[in-house]
A and B are shown apart, each in its own frame.
Chain A
Amino acid sequence: MREIKADLHVHTCLSPCAEPEMVPTAIIDQAMRTGLDIIGICDHNSAENVGAVLEAGRRKDFPVIPGMELTSREEVHVLGLFRDEEGLSALQKLVYANLPGENDPELFGQQTIVDEHDEVIGSTTKLLIGATGFSLEETVHVIHEAGGLAIAAHIDRERFGLVGQLGLVPEGLEVDAMEVSPYAELEGWPDYTVVTFSDAHVLRDVGRSSTSFLVEEASLEEIGKALRNEDGRGIVAAGGG
């Protein structure tokens, strides 16, 4: 068993609110420089840059978890993390079919699609800052159906966090963990597994907050076990830096 330092909530230049510097090779370099062992890529309602970051990571032998940050119709953000791109691409189709609107880059920002060498290859016209038609419970359900782990994002934040939007955690919500923002209190959620990631939209924020897991290897299955405290896996540390 070994300890891995994970920041599983990192955006790319595909998210309209992220900086253009958030390109695959730069993200991987920054992640390695800050001492992370694994990252997750979670853009808003889209996974169109995930493959490029995965490939950039593969070249440096650095593991990357494919993911997406979904917006429920109550405007609660939920991370979906996947073992491979297959489940994620099924989810992508479902999300795009339930995500109304068209982006205006002047108003909301560019949604740039890049390749693994950071070359711009296009953009998406979907309104990624918008909300899907899925309720919070449906959002968690579609992530699970596609084979992913569902983590309620930055639950302590007033905007787009579960508690800010919905006042309290709904009874029986089947999330795999709760994510709190960098520097937020980790206590106070006795019924849930709590993690913290950076939610980086700029390079300098990558790894600003991370969770260390005790696992056999750097993979999503192992992280899932750690979240459930199974087979001796677990969370060994969580916090800033």
Chain B
Amino acid sequence: MKLAEVVSELDLKVRTARGELERAVGGGYASDLMSDVIANGAKGDLWVTLQIHQNIVAVASLTELAGIVLVNGREPEDATAERAESENIPIMVSALPAFDVIGRLYELGITGGTSPDADQDERT
């Protein structure tokens, strides 16, 4: 699924890197500990967080994430937005809390770590 579709389905406000919405979203990751995202986030993941510090851009670049969704209507700090523009990292804002954002992403077929098929295998 492309980032642009996610933006439209969840009615996200795009704050930075509008030119990057054709990116494919491979999966999702949610955490507010950035060391955890570096350790466990995967390339192409959409990251759901409440952190607005400029380091979210550094973490997204490092991990090659598809983009960042800020929850609860939280806006990126100015330094964060500037850095995201220059590093082409899309930051999007949702008015919803993290739980609802993640639930909706899951309904769209965006899942974490393991694919739904792998989940099935584990259960059997």
Interface on A for B, CB 8 Å cutoff?
A: 74, 135-137, 158, 163-168, 170
Interface on B for A, CB 8 Å cutoff?
A: 33-35, 37-38, 51, 53-55, 58-59, 62, 77, 79
Q: In the complex the two chains form, is B34's CB within 8 Å of A165's CB? A: yes
Q: In the complex the two chains form, is A136's CB within 8 Å of B35's CB? A: no
Chain B's interface: helix, strand, loop or mixed, by majority?
helix
Q: In the complex the two chains form, is B55's CB within 8 Å of A167's CB? A: yes
8 closest residue pairs by CB, A with B: A167-B34, A166-B55, A167-B59, A164-B35, A167-B38, A167-B35, A166-B34, A74-B53
Besides A165-B35, A166-B35, A168-B38, 11 other CB < 8 A contacts?
A: A137-B79, A163-B35, A164-B35, A165-B33, A165-B34, A166-B53, A167-B38, A167-B62, A168-B34, A168-B58, A170-B55
- The contact sample of 25 A-B pairs, CB cut-off 8 A, is A74-B51, A74-B53, A135-B53, A136-B53, A158-B33, A158-B35, A163-B35, A164-B33, A164-B34, A164-B35, A165-B34, A165-B35, A166-B35, A166-B51, A167-B35, A167-B38, A167-B55, A167-B59, A167-B62, A168-B34, A168-B55, A168-B58, A168-B59, A170-B55, A170-B58
- Docked Cα-Cα span, A164 to B62, in Å, equals 16
Looking at the assembled complex, report how far the CB atom of B38 sits from the nearest CB atom of chain A, in whole angstroms: 5
